Every structure is written in structure tokens, then in C-alpha cells.
Amino acid sequence: MNIKNKVIAITGGASGLGYAMAERLGEQGAVLALMDKSAATLDEAISKLAVQGINAHGFPLDVADKHSVTKAFADIADRLGPIDGCVNNAGITDDALLLKVKDGVVAKRMSLDAWQRVIDVNLTGVFLCGREAAGQMVESGKGGVIVNISSISRAGNMGQTNYAAAKAGVHALTVTWAKELAKYSIRTATVAPGFIDTPMTATMRPDMYEKIAGSVPLKRLGEADNIAQCVAFIVENDYFTGRIIECDGGLRM
Ligand code: NAP
């Protein structure tokens, strides 16, 4: 797909990796529908992108809320026309061990709330937004591309029962959609980032940050644009579907 003048939606597009994707796809001429939780953060991101000559529009939503998602995607179609691409990027963490044990006694457990919050945003959110995006692509008759953002943690990671399960699910639904939607000329693929410098990783304790950076074969965290490059590759490459790009500096969980 030639990115120029294509309408591409990015969830979580006002911050971190989503913002870097907006910069890269916007520089290549995409018309961007940035979707994020906070209208104020969206306005700020769109003003910054406008300075770079990037054509971006804001659509506040909660990816975990069916009505909010339906409305936001309908608003995009009304204002910009049916979408050609959708990057399901919005995500959160809420880490905890399944069980915290002290002297053989369970002192704490991952709460059902923490489990549900992360599943709702990181997995149900991808399902809801992907379903709306695919619907528009089918009905426009143009097809399109859906890129889902998973994580290196999909292989299982200490303290991330909820996040790892959601991110493994994200790749499973990508492969399923690639099989179901190919007949409508819709491709779907996954990018699985390793540890990347964004506001999400900025909340790590400095000692944890150093430990993780030291464990990466390249000895540093990735930059947001490294992931944006993977997304742009998938959007442009018309023979890439149902597969995953792992961009993690060589780190294995
Ligand atoms: P980020 O900087 O925290 O950005 C995530 C964006 O998503 C924020 O703008 C956030 O808004 C928004 N968001 C959160 N919940 C939402 C909801 N319910 N509805 C709409 N928007 C919502 O995170 P990031 O590091 O760029 O991560 C982007 C994606 O990459 C996530 O899926 C993450 O799991 C994945 N990932 C990141 C890394 C990494 O090292 N950074 C590694 C692997 C995978 P608020 O800030 O207002 O909450």
C-alpha cells in the first residue's frame, strides 16, 4: 500500500510508540486519525504534528468501551472517509505477581481488577477497534491493513500474567483475521516490541531499567521510531500478512 493520502487510524496515537508511528506515517503523507483517551493530549499531539506539516485529526475514545469505539470509527468515516489502515497500539500495564508469598503464606494476589483492566484495554480493545476497522474496509470495497501491537512479553514474563496473556491473544487474533479477511483484501500483522523508551517504560525503577537494558544483546532500550519503522513496513508490503515482526534488540524472554 502506498501510504500517501491513505486514512490511517492509530489508537494510543497521542503518546509514545503511537506518536512515533504518527510522525513516520504522517511524513509519508498519510491522513492520520489519532485515537486516544484524553482529548487534551490529542490536541497537543496534533498541534506538534501540524508544525511538521503532518495532517492529523483527533478522535477521543476508550478502546475498551464498545459504544465509544463504534462512535469514534463512525466519526472518522464521516470526517475523513473510510479508513485504509488501523494500528491497534493503545495499551496499559498493571503488573503484579500472581501470588506474593511470605514465609509460605500467600500475602497478596493479582487482583481480578488488575487482570480485567489489562485484558479490557489490551485485548478487548484490539478486538473492538479491529472489528470496526475491518467493517469499514470491507464496506468501502478497498480493503486495507490492520497492525496490532503485541509485546515480547507474550511469551510469558514475571509479574505480567494479565499483560502476557493479552499480548499472546493479540497475535492469535491477528493470525485468525489474516485467514478470515484476506478475501476482502485486508491484511493483518503484528509487531512485538521489546523494551522501548516511552512514557510506559519511563515509570520503571532506575535499577530495573538498568537491569533490563543490560540484558538486551544490543545493551540499550529501543527507540520509538524503531517500532514505527516496522509498522510502516507492514503497511507498505502487500505480501505481508498473518505474521509477526519482533523488534527487541535480540532479547528473548
Ligand atoms: P504509552 O506511552 O503509555 O502510550 C499508550 C497510549 O495509549 C497513551 O496515550 C494512553 O493514554 C493510551 N491509552 C491507554 N488506555 C487507553 C484506552 N482505554 N483507550 C484509548 N487510549 C488508551 O505506551 P507505549 O509504550 O507507547 O505503548 C504502546 C503499545 O506498545 C502498547 O500496546 C504497549 O503494550 C506496547 N508495547 C510497549 C513497549 C515499550 O517498551 N514501550 C514494549 C512492548 C509493547 P493515557 O496515557 O491517557 O493513559
The CA distance from 131 to 66, in Å, is 10
Looking at residue 253, its pLDDT comes to 85
Take atom 11 of ligand 1 and give the residue whose Cα is closest: 37
Tens digit of pLDDT per residue, the chain (253 long)? 999 999 999 999 999 999 999 999 999 999 999 999 999 999 999 999 999 999 999 999 999 999 999 999 999 999 999 999 999 999 999 999 999 999 999 999 999 999 999 999 999 999 999 999 999 999 999 999 999 999 999 999 999 999 999 999 999 999 999 999 999 999 999 999 999 999 888 888 999 899 999 999 999 999 999 999 999 999 999 999 999 999 999 999 8
- State residue 40's pLDDT score: 98
Question: Do 196 and 17 form a contact (C-beta atoms < 8 A)?
Answer: yes
CA–centroid distance, 236 to ligand 1, in Å, is: 23
Ligand 1 pocket, Cβ-based, cut-off 6 angstroms: 11-12, 14-18, 36-38, 41, 61-64, 89-92, 121, 125, 149, 151, 193, 195-196, 198-201
How confident is the model at residue 170, as a pLDDT? 98
Question: What's the pLDDT score for residue 219?
Answer: 97
Ligand 1: centre distance to CA 104 (Å): 36
Q: Residue 215 has which C-alpha cell?
A: 540484558
pLDDT at residue number 66: 98
pTM: 0.98
Indicate the top mutation candidate among 19, 23, 36, 69 to test ligand 1's pocket, ranked by most ligand atoms within 8 A of CB. 36
- Cβ-based burial of 40 (10 A; exposed 0-12, middle 13-18, buried ≥19): exposed
Q: Look up the CATH number of domain 7-247.
A: 3.40.50.720
How many angstroms separate the alpha carbon of residue 87 from the centre of ligand 1? Answer: 12
Residues 242 and 178: beta-carbon distance below 8 Å: yes
pLDDT for the residue 111: 98
CA atoms within 13 A on the CB side of 105: 2
Gap from CA of 86 to ligand 1 centroid (Å)? 15
